[in-house]
Structure 1
Amino acid sequence: MIQNGTMNERLKRARISAGYRTASDAINRFGWRGSTYRAHENGQNHFDAQTATNYARAYGVNAGWLLTGDGAMSAKAKLSRRAELVQTNGDCPDCDEKRSNIPVLGVAAAGVWMEDEVRRMTNGNGRTHPFPADPRFPVEAQFDLIVEGTSINRFAQAGDHIRCVDVEAAGIDIEDGDLVIVERTRGNSLKETSARRVRRSGEHYEFWPDSSDPLWQTPVIVKDGHSEENENVRVIGLVIWKFRDACDRDA
């Protein structure tokens, strides 16, 4: 009988099999919490069935094998089809009951400031996307943004959709390493909506671009809800994954 190793060894094997050389590569690709994932892969902490399912979907393996070592490792026939759907337009012939029209609320773009009235007129334009909702969170708390620019190009490229969860509506606590949607307000109405990594440092928070672009290497430093430039700053969403819409790409 072939020994499949321990849970963390199977997780590492699945990652390497999926083409991610390091844990950091996978963490950046899927937007996972770095400390949580590393604790799972190095055997410090075990993970539950739901977490195994999430990892299995990402790596194209069977969740049961990942969790217990039983059965076949590969689930590529099923999951490669799902991956292809992410690359097309979200049509899911096998998942009609799970489809949800998630609202596209606008763009995530560091350095782009708009007045409230302009934001209401341009952001989303009433668009929705049928790609299925993430079952871990309330459907009504989920929304999509479209990435503009290079401020999170380590995680998502311009034109990618990022699926987000309203942290207030879903009761989510933000942790170090999370990729979040940050809204900054200048004056009474000028706003910027961007995606940034959270770091806690003493009594303040730092919101960093996740970028290789030299233009985006400076954090927004926030204490008591205000930046050093006296902007009002609040976290409005947690980024849970990304996908590419072929309709947007071909437009």
Structure 2
Amino acid sequence: MAERLRAARAEAGLRSARAAALKLGLSPSTYAAHENGQNAFGPEVARRYAKAFGVTAAWLLTGETEPLEKKGTAAPSPTSVVGEIARGVWIEEAAEHRPSAFLPVIDDGAEPGALVAYRLRDGSLGHLSPEGAFLVCRALDPDTSAKDGDLVVVERLRKAQGIVERTARRVRRTGGRTELVDADPAADAAEPIRTGHGKDGIDTRIAAKVVWILRAP
């Protein structure tokens, strides 16, 4: 069961168990326990995994049927809305990322990584995106480097308090240095920041790369 789950996840283009957990809106530990065989999973969970990875639930559970669903015209799949973006707003970081909503998105598979979405709750992106829009992103593994000019979702974590601030910023690489700067040069200027552990006790990381923006109707 665990081996088939790993194979299905890899065939679906998800490079790690963490990427799969983000796509599914599960905690990484919950999904990893299924993929490494620590915990078994039942029919309901199997159907959820099957839908996400394009295989059949029966194959995941028993291995006795054909693994792949018949492919046709690409159809939208539910993409988890896993958080909100608002500069200067610190919120409690839940141990398990439960999606607040799902967006119907067609994944073209052009890049690796699970598709996830964030809702923009302020005007920090200026003319790039209005408040209320959704940023559809590729979740990035810790060992994946964003490129110069990429628009990314940045998380700043105060682990002691269990709170996080999320913003969208542009990657700027100059002279071997990497900074995260305002996405919109015309917006109110914010101080550039860097990833890693800061002296103020804040850990900063790039969580995802923005691939497109869905404006609310």
TM range (shorter): 0.5 to 0.7
Matched, 1:184 2:156: yes
CA contact (8 A) 1:184 1:232 kept: yes
TM superposition outliers: structure 1 runs of 4+ over 6 Å: none
TM-score (norm 1): 0.50
Q: State how 1:109-148 maps to structure 2 within 5 Å.
A: 109-117=86-94, 124-125=99-100, 127-138=101-112, 141-148=114-121
CA contact (8 A) 1:179 1:197 kept: yes
Q: Which residue of 1 aligns with 2:191?
A: 219
Gaps of 5+ in 2: 1-71
TM-score (norm 2): 0.57
Residue 213 of structure 1 aligns with an amino acid whose one-letter code is: A
SS at match of 1:154: helix
Give 2:210's match in structure 1, choosing from 239, 244, 249. 239
* Cα gap change, 1:203 to 1:143, in 2 (>3 Å): same
RMSD over aligned Cα atoms: 2.7
Partners of 1:196 and 1:238 lie apart in 2 by: 10
Shift of 1:137: 3.1
Matched, 1:106 2:87: no
* Cα gap change, 1:156 to 1:120, in 2 (>3 Å): farther
Partners of 1:192 and 1:110 lie apart in 2 by: 7
* Cα gap change, 1:162 to 1:134, in 2 (>3 Å): farther
SS at match of 2:209: strand
Say which structure is richer in helix: 1
Q: Which residue of 1 aligns with 2:137?
A: 164
* Cα gap change, 1:136 to 1:172, in 2 (>3 Å): farther
For residues 23-48 of structure 1, the C-alpha deviation after alignment (integer angstroms, 9 at most, x for no partner) is xxxxxxxxxxxxxxxxxxxxxxxxxx
* Cα gap change, 1:132 to 1:228, in 2 (>3 Å): same
Question: What number of residue pairs does the alignment pair up?
Answer: 144
Q: Which residue of 1 aligns with 2:25?
A: none
CA contact (8 A) 1:102 1:133 kept: no
Gaps of 5+ in 1: 1-94, 247-251
Give 2:74's match in structure 1, choosing from 80, 97, 107. 97
Q: State how 1:1-20 maps to structure 2 within 5 Å.
A: none
Say which structure is richer in strand: 2
